[in-house]
A and B are shown apart, each in its own frame.
Chain A
Amino acid sequence: MRPLSLKGHERALTRVRFNREGDLVFTSAKDKRPCVWYTENGERIGSYDQHNGAVWDIDVTWDTQKCVTASGDNTVKIWDAERGNCLNTINHQTPMKSCGFSYSGNLVIFTTQKMTKNMSSVQVRDIRDQSQMVDGAEPIFSAQFDVNAGTALFSKLDDEITIGFESGLILQYDLRNSEQSKNANESVHRYSVQDLQVSPSGEFLISSSRDKTSALLDINDLKKLKQYKSERPVNSACISPIRDHICLGGGEDAMQVTQTSVSAGHFEAKIYHMVFEEEFARFKGHFGPINTMAWHPSGNCIATGGEDGYVRIQEFDEDYSNFKYDF
């Protein structure tokens, strides 16, 4: 089947996400307009316009009621997903790098970048409590770090969060204790953690790093269970909801892309067996590094967003569904 190639963004993609049912794709890019599309035919439904800078992350609640976006214009915005109007804006002194909803969709997490005297921070706020949704209000949870927290998410219901840092460190906190991290893993990655995703069934975390590997972590204690080696920095990885497969994507540094041929850049998405750590398939399409990817809830298609500004929705062919490992 032909993959869909969605051209709606003017600049590099930063995040693609499906909603829970998988009928919609939410995308954010380094241009100012996050978009929402139909998965089925790739038609764009609309965009969320108000940001004035690169949008680094977008997330949607389980019931597809609300969206959250984090932007380089130093704001996090909560949107009405259907109508596209902005419900809340939280300002900060520095750019916001990553954001996400909790399991219930009532809490929102976001990270802020380190800049001059401002430390990098991770905050959690309750969107039901309007007093928390104004600038300078006291959040439910707040922690500050000397290294940039690149990515953060709710790893367990509304209780636990996991944060990935530029140094390669991964920390896990209980929301009730912002003083002391619950778990830490500093050995699995040597360079910046680019992305963290929870497995669809909630048993594992998958991390992606510039050290050219992606790792499967135990969601309860952050222990490394598996590690997948790629030839290039990994920007994003996701886990299949129906089979023991993972997919990762990345590629040559954006800075060096102009000096490499497409074949040497490794801009393909690579599929590995989750347990045996072996690569068995890859698919091409992007002509720049893949920045973000998400597995469709049905398990039979993957959305990828690239540095080239395209979103590709790739449906799997029959070979894939017939492919089986002997064991």
Chain B
Amino acid sequence: MVEIDLNKENEEDFSDPIGFVDDIKDEVLVPDVLHQKPVIDEFEECAVVITGVPVIGSERVGKLQNVLTKVLEKIEKKVKLFIPVGPDGASLGVLLSEWPDKKVAKFAVESLDGYAFDKNHTFSAKLFSEMKLMRPPNDDWKEPTKQPYTDVGDLWWWMQNDRCRDQFAVSYDKNGVPTVGVYTHMKGHDPELAGDNDIAERANWTETVFTWSPHGSYLSTIHQRGIILWGGVEFKRAHRFAHDGVQCIDFSPCETYLVTYAAPEDRGKWWEGEKDCLKIWDVRTGELKKSFSAFELTNKTQLPNWPFFKWSFDEKYFACLKAPEKDKLEKEKKIDGISIYETETFELLNKRPVIIENIKQIDWSPASNLLAYYSECTDMSPAEFGLLQIPSLQRLRSARIYNVADAQMFWQKSGKRLAFYTMRYNKKAFRETGEIKYVGGCTYHVDIFEIDKKDVSLMNLPLPEAFIHFGWDPEGDKFCVLTGNQTKAAPHVYKIEPNSHAPKLISKLDAGVQYNEVQFAPKGGWLAILAKVSAGGNVMFVDTTLAEAKRTNVIEHPLFNNGYWDPTGRYFVTCSSLGGRNGADLGFRVYTFQGRELCRKSMERLAQFKWRPRPPVKLSEQKQKEIKKNLKKISARFIKQDDDEKCRASQEVVEKRRKIMSAFDVIRNRNKELVAAQRDARIALRSGIDTDATLNPDEFVEEEITIALSTSRTAAPISEEDDFD
């Protein structure tokens, strides 16, 4: 008993005294939960404030009331309205209205916002609850000062290289410091820095990664405080975009807009940081066009994919999947729509998302405002692949397929065709763990929409084996499908003929190990088939310009994890960078389009390799024809230039080597003299023998030694007599 008492005495009392009131507010304790707290007040959601109403004298307020009542009653009879007036009885240009429930109120906002009352008056409507969230304008607001225009020089200077050489940028560790360097690719020898040492190559240029803008005008770097774009001959700072903790960036296709994203949780309190975690900027003016909340866009605290917005080819629109809604049990439903924004206003097209059930993937046509979509199949409905015309939202064509387990879409770069691959199952079963299991094998198909054809024709191509990857010839009418499995993957090249209903197989190439990607050269015709991140590291180069596709070469670059065509399709680079397999030698190798190795370079901690994209330069048809016709004549000139250069280069190398050698010889001779001066000491140390003197072969004594290399026991003759017998 004593023991227990002792314990009690030692125990501190942590319970609150009676009548204690906690003075910590909920806002401090659970702000993230409160952030999502629904507003209880129904009334505020039923009241709509309308501005933009005519301002009139007191005598005509009654008349205005009548007219407005008529307008509003068209929406709902049970509306109550009130026109506030000033001290002199004149209206203030504001109208307050109250609706029977929040659904009607919401509808009223949608219909009244932007309603043209007369020639001079357009309404803008807002829910009272939303109105409450508005902040008064900052009293200290000042007109922004004019920013001086920074002229960084010609943004496309590298396009004027007289040998049409392309540039690329790499990020790697130079002497242990992360460095980004921009180089010019020189055919046949080592790449050269595209400028002076500290200009084109800088230590810690970016904190994470770099990117080229889509036309190659800018090199963009990511920093803790935001994004910097660099351009011109000297890579001067062209623009800055402040965005704390920015992680991802994406350009619109013509470089007009820049999208930046910072993960909310990295900016302290996510419910505060997340309101503007996604920002769209105007690249040229640096103006912030719009900021988004990731939570509103996706119903999640983090973006699920990047780039999140898909841009139309002309930047008129950008789209993303709508946020999934939640059912009554707070369980997330499948996504049922696409949000399409216009860049003219940065508002939703038609103010509302396009509803498509079970939408999974969207993809813009690279050449027109067509949006391709894929909606998953469910037990009740088939999967749907469709083409949506924007802004009319007309469904150009759609295909419905049952039992689709997996699908992918591939646009041809010319925008003429869209291919989609589907894996179709026979039967579906659920395992006990809830996993889906497909019973009875699957079939693989590639279907192709031809946009230009009447009514958008659809072609079907069943595949004999499992699908691995697909690639379009960007301009032509060929494509390549990779089928098979890990150990045996076979590329098939098909051609689409104008009057045929199915693509025609023109070549089946030799199967290879672990091929997993198809890449057509950007200008078409040539094809690389890659076995990324494999021990063999093969790349097969294929010529599809002729009637039959022909393999030109297979190269090996063990464990390479990326391959890129240069923007002109003249060179192909394989590179092994961080993030690939462990133990790979980091570096890159450059090949011609036929697979002849031109140069290989190892780089410490190589993180990125990126060719500098080229802006689109459209030559007239006639000019292109002319060039094609005179190709032989022109190429002879280029070959001569190449040879001259090679000659000059080797002379330069010899010259350089001579210089190095003569500089080295100075040190060598000095040391030689020092060694020679030790001659007496050397002889003395080796008891009078000059071991430095060349040995005279005449003094050698030849000695022959016989050594038994192996001995073995044999039966010896017993006696001589036996031998004679």
Contacts and interface: CB of A to CB of B under 8 A. Distances in A.
A116 interface: no
B657 A220 contact: no
Contacts of B602: 231
A276 B654 CA distance: 11
Interface stretch (A79-87, A145-153, A196-204): A196-204
B654 A327 contact: yes
B675 interface: yes
B672 A62 contact: no
B667 A263 contact: no
B463 interface: no
Interface in B671-700: 671-672, 674-675, 678, 681-682, 685-687, 691
A264 interface: yes
Of the listed residues B583, B672, B709, the one surrounded by the most CB atoms of chain A closer than 10 A to its CB is B583
Interface stretch (A24-32, A168-176, A252-260, A305-313): A252-260
B358 to A, nearest CB: 44
B387 to A, nearest CB: 47
A260 B654 contact: no
Interface in A134-181: 156-158
A273 to B, nearest CB: 9
Interface in A82-111: 102-106
Nearest to B586: A231
A275 interface: yes
B89 to A, nearest CB: 86
A82 B661 CA distance: 43
Interface residues of B, number: 32
Contacts of B678: 156-157
Contacts of B687: 104
B660 A190 contact: no
A157 B671 contact: no
Contacts of A259: 582-583
A275 B672 contact: no
Contacts of B664: 225-226, 275
Contacts of A158: 685
A256 B675 contact: no
Contacts of A260: 583
Nearest to A327: B657
B363 interface: no
Given A62-B691, A327-B658, A225 B685 contact: no
Nearest to A202: B675
A325 B582 contact: no
Interface string A248-279: 00001000100111011010000000011000
Residues of A contacting B: mostly: loop
Given A276-B657, A326-B657, A327-B661, A157 B685 contact: yes
A264 B675 contact: no
A54 interface: no
Given A20-B691, A231-B602, A327-B657, A256 B583 contact: yes
Nearest to A278: B657
A218 interface: yes
Contact of A326 (B583, B650, B671): B650
B659 to A, nearest CB: 9
Nearest to A274: B664
B176 interface: yes
A55 interface: no
A33 B655 CA distance: 52
Interface in B540-566: 558-559
Given A252-B583, A259-B582, A261-B535, A157 B682 contact: yes
Nearest to B695: A21
A219 interface: yes
Contact of A190 (B176, B535, B653): B176
B584 interface: yes
B333 to A, nearest CB: 46
A220 B686 contact: no
A202 B535 CA distance: 44
A158 B650 CA distance: 46
Contact of A220 (B584, B661, B674, B681): B674
A203 B666 CA distance: 12
A263 B671 contact: no
Contacts of B165: none
A140 to B, nearest CB: 15
Contact of A218 (B582, B585, B667, B675): B667
Interface string A233-258: 00000000000000000001000100
A231 B691 CA distance: 38
A220 B583 contact: no
Contacts of A156: 678
A219 B558 contact: no
A220 B675 CA distance: 10
Nearest to B664: A275
A231 B606 CA distance: 13
A36 to B, nearest CB: 15
A103 B671 contact: no
A218 B675 CA distance: 12
A4 B442 CA distance: 57
Interface in A1-43: 20, 43
B672 A203 contact: yes
A87 B686 CA distance: 21
Nearest to A218: B667
Contact of A264 (B176, B583, B654, B657): B583
Contacts of A63: 686
Contacts of A327: 654, 657-658, 661
A231 B657 contact: no
A203 B672 CA distance: 6
Contacts of A226: 664
A264 B559 contact: yes
B650 A218 contact: no
Interface string A62-74: 1100000000000
27 contacts: A20-B691, A62-B691, A63-B686, A103-B685, A103-B686, A157-B678, A157-B681, A157-B685, A190-B176, A201-B672, A202-B675, A203-B675, A218-B671, A219-B671, A261-B535, A264-B558, A264-B559, A264-B583, A264-B584, A264-B585, A266-B585, A275-B657, A275-B661, A276-B660, A327-B654, A327-B657, A327-B658
Interface of A: 20, 43, 62-63, 102-106, 156-158, 190, 201-204, 218-220, 225-226, 231, 252, 256, 259-261, 263-264, 266, 275-276, 325-327
4 tightest Cβ-Cβ pairs between the two chains A and B: A104-B685, A327-B657, A203-B671, A202-B675
Given A203-B675, A264-B558, 16 more contacts: A62-B691, A104-B685, A106-B685, A157-B678, A158-B685, A218-B667, A220-B674, A225-B664, A226-B664, A231-B585, A263-B558, A264-B583, A264-B584, A264-B585, A266-B585, A275-B660
Interface of B: 176, 535, 558-559, 582-585, 602, 650, 653-654, 657-658, 660-661, 664, 667-668, 671-672, 674-675, 678, 681-682, 685-687, 691, 707, 709
